[in-house]
Structure 1
Amino acid sequence: MFKYIFTIFVSVFLFGSPAFAQHEEAVHTESSHEQTHEEEKFDIGSMIMHHISDEHGWEFTHSVKLPLPVILYTADRGLELFSSSKLDHGQVYNGYRNDHEHIVRINEDGSVNEAVHPMDFSITKNVATLMIGALLLLLIFTAVSKGYTTNKGKAPKGIQSFMEPLIVYMRDEVVKPSIGKNYGKYFPYLLTLFFFIFINNLLGLLPGGANLTGNIAITLVLALISFLITNLSANKYYWKHILLPDTPKWMWAIMIPVEVVGVLMKPLSLMIRLFANITAGHIIMLSLFGLIFIFKNWAVAPAVGVFALFMSAIELLVAFLQAFIFTLLTSMYIGSAIEEHHADH
């Protein structure tokens, strides 16, 4: 398994040349009596959107960018693969241009070829982060599993001693009370869900990190998986409560649509809550740093630093809290779907 993961990461991080894309700097000349220097107005909105959005390269700072492989498929050319650095700064390569992270085919006159719609399977920044998160999960839990095997009957050591309290807490305080005696069937998924969100939340807080869990496509997939597991595991009492509620029949025209909407709102709330909270945290942090460039005064920096430090501590709490809430609510939804019927008298 690890040799395949290593092959993937070699293709992600070493494809293309050069290793780092270089940004060109404009040179301003001085006249004998005055300087001709035109300052661009700082656009904090564009800066924030640039940092929280996905991109075909991985920009760590303004002058250091790691190119990632661009993988395109078109009916006339088939599969094409090249480095994302070929499309930096609006360049056209092999008839393609990166138009706001949407790669399009270009005609000879520079206009977009509307007849060709390339299918983009590129390894973007979010995809690369997804791979790193998956690799970290494999490495961590392989080590934990090995620890349980070698330290059987003994006190946990190393990473096992750090992870075991979290695993036991999620099992005994979250999953088991929410689902009941049949929790074992769903615990592996819920544990994976918790640590996947938690680790990627932490990766997003690193300098140059990707906003993976703040990408609504990622939260949509996680919510959809939880939705499918919940409703495919549901028993007849769950569906009877939704489709044949215990109310007078004349109220069914109101109650059934309400219950169906409630079923659909559960994954929607999971998706939006994680997306909104993680994205909001990144926007607040970037807005604080943007104040330095707006006021253009070094005196603002200490105040921004204090608030940024405080927000970083809050973000660490939110990283755990959002993973916990997503797992807890999923456990509760599964528990309500498989709960046995108890007649009330």
Structure 2
Amino acid sequence: MLRTITSKLLLILSLSVFSISFSFAQEGHEAHHESKEAAHEEEKFDIGQMIMHHISDSHEWEFAHGLVIPLPVILYTEANGLEIFSSSRFAEGNGVYNGYINNHEHIHRLNPQGGLDEEVHVWDFSITKNVASLLLSAVILILLMTTVAKSFNKNHGKAPKGIQSFVEPIIFFIRDEVVKPNIGAKYERYLPYLLTLFFFILINNLLGLIPGGANLTGNITITLFLAVVTFVITHINANKHYWLHLVKPEGVPTLMLPLMWVVEIAGVFMKPMSLTIRLFANITAGHIIILSLLGLIFIFKSFAVGGVVTLFTLFMNAIELLVAFLQAFIFTLLTSMYIGSAIEDSHEADHGH
């Protein structure tokens, strides 16, 4: 079973690296061909622009050069109200359509002179690549858990089969090794949220490794939202011991309390910040490293370099596969620890008792 799963994962990694390399090769070849026809000289490859293009959000979903899925653009202004059109309109008009301009994925209103109208605020509710990936991961998560639940009820008391045999051990591991030890007897109340959190992060981490996938968990807005939800759940359910520990820590002299208040309040807000930055930085850094390695192929334009880079990229994809699971685990573990520290009956452990 383990050997079969390992073989499939290695096959997926190999295909992923080949697809990415082929995609970039096609993009580099076509860009070179177009520039040669236009200016009869080779255009310098901009690796920074390539990396930012692939890790940032956009109003269209580009899987490879020439393979683009347009997404709905939903805009609102006080003068024109709600306007909905396809992002392909911007591509057809070189970034301009119906008085709007898409300036590096920021949509602005144009004035009669053709410049940016700073007085008009454009509310952008568009379905961007990250939003579409978010909806896709939500559908996958619902279908996955529904299938596992049905299989569990059907095979109750029997050996798990199919996808249940892969997901069920992970669920039990998170419950028994992460949630129970850190939250305690009241763990069942928070288990649904923590399981949803783990699998949501894991699924989006894995989707981000697929060629053309969106960098959703590498978007700091998403990681910040997850951290804020954890922060709210933690402090809504916190008991009096938690708040008393913040206001008057045991054993601290009265004169030192103002300083301790600053330290404790800073610690309260540093927890969600650490959750936000850790997930965002690790996922984004991994994508940047892989894209940088692939960019070396077009900088050196050598088959030898291409072969070495492909091997290193395959290795980095394997590392990123491990990181995808590890970051989901760490985020869930820290969330469990924060909730557990807020609902425990006393804070004697903080003072070494």
TM-score, normalization: structure 2?
0.87
- The residue number in structure 1 matching 2:114 is 110
SS of the equivalent of 1:90 reads coil
1:65 matched to which residue of 2? 68
**Could you tell me how far 1:341 is from its partner in structure 2?**
1.7
Instruction: Report 1 or 2 for greater relative contact order, CA contacts < 8 Å, sequence distance ≥ 6.
Output: 2
The one-letter code sitting in structure 2 at the alignment partner of 1:49 is M
Give the RMSD, CA atoms, in angstroms: 1.8
Indicate if the aligned counterparts of 2:36 and 2:42 stay in contact, CA closer than 8 A. Answer: no
Tell me the equivalent position of 2:304: 299
1:1-345 residue pairs with structure 2 within 5 A?
A: 26=34, 28=36, 37-88=40-91, 90-246=94-250, 247-341=252-346
Structure 1 unmatched runs, 5+: 1-22, 31-35
Deviations 1:80-112 (A, max 9, x none): 100001112733211111000001111232201
Matched AA of 2:262: P
The CA deviation at 1:277 is 0.1
Quick one: distance in 1 between partners of 2:248 and 2:173?
37
In the alignment, the residues of structure 2 paired with residue 156 and residue 230 of structure 1 have an alpha-carbon distance, to the nearest angstrom, of 34
Amino acid corresponding to residue 62 of structure 1 in structure 2: H
* 3-state SS of 2:172 partner: helix
Residue 298 of structure 1 deviates from its aligned partner by: 2.0
* 147-156 or 134-143, larger mean C-alpha shift: 147-156
**Which residue type is aligned with residue 99 of structure 1?**
N
Instruction: Answer with 206-215 or 72-81: which moved more.
Output: 72-81
TM-score, normalising length: structure 1:
0.89
Q: Equivalent pairs: percent with the same residue? A: 65
Question: What is the identity, as a one-letter code, of the residue corresponding to 2:59?
Answer: H
Task: Note the alpha carbon deviations across 1:163-194, whole angstroms, 9 max, x for none.
Answer: 11000000000000011111000000000000
- Give CA-to-partner distance per residue, 1:312-345, whole Å, 9 cap, x none: 1000000000000000000000000001126687
Count, aligned residues? 318
Q: Is the partner of 1:299 in helix, strand or coil?
A: helix
- Assess, with a 3 A threshold, how the Cα gap between structure 1 residues 245 and 98 changes in structure 2: closer, same or farther: same
CA contact 1:245–1:256 (8 Å) conserved in 2: no
Q: 1:28 to 1:261 in 2, by over 3 A?
A: closer
For the residues of structure 2 that align with 1:86 and 1:333, how far apart are their CA atoms? 47
Shift of 1:27: 7.5
User: Is the alpha carbon distance of 1:28 and 1:262 closer, same or farther for their aligned partners in structure 2, counting shifts above 3 Å?
Assistant: closer
Please state how far the C-alpha of 1:149 moved relative to its aligned partner: 2.0
Matched to 2:316, the amino acid is: M
What does the per-residue CA deviation read over 1:103-129, in whole Å, with 9 as the maximum and x for residues that have no partner?
111123220111211100000000000
Alpha-carbon distance in structure 1 between the residues aligned to 2:267 and 2:70: 44
Q: CA deviation at 1:61?
A: 1.2
Change in Cα spacing, 1:231 to 1:342, as seen in structure 2 (3 Å) is: closer
CA positional deviation for 1:151:
1.8
| Preserved contact between residue 61 and residue 68 of structure 2 (Cα < 8 Å) | yes
Look up the SS of the partner of 2:303 in the other structure.
Answer: coil
Tell me, in whole angstroms, the C-alpha distance in 1 between the residues paired with 2:266 and 2:347: 25
How far apart, CA to CA, are the structure 2 residues paired with 1:28 and 1:206?
31
Partner amino acid, structure 1, of 2:90: L
SS at match of 1:318: helix
Contact 1:285 1:308 in 2 (8 A): yes
CA distance in 2, matches of 1:156, 1:79: 50
Whether the aligned pair in 1 keeps the contact of 2:75 and 2:122 (CA below 8 Å) is: yes
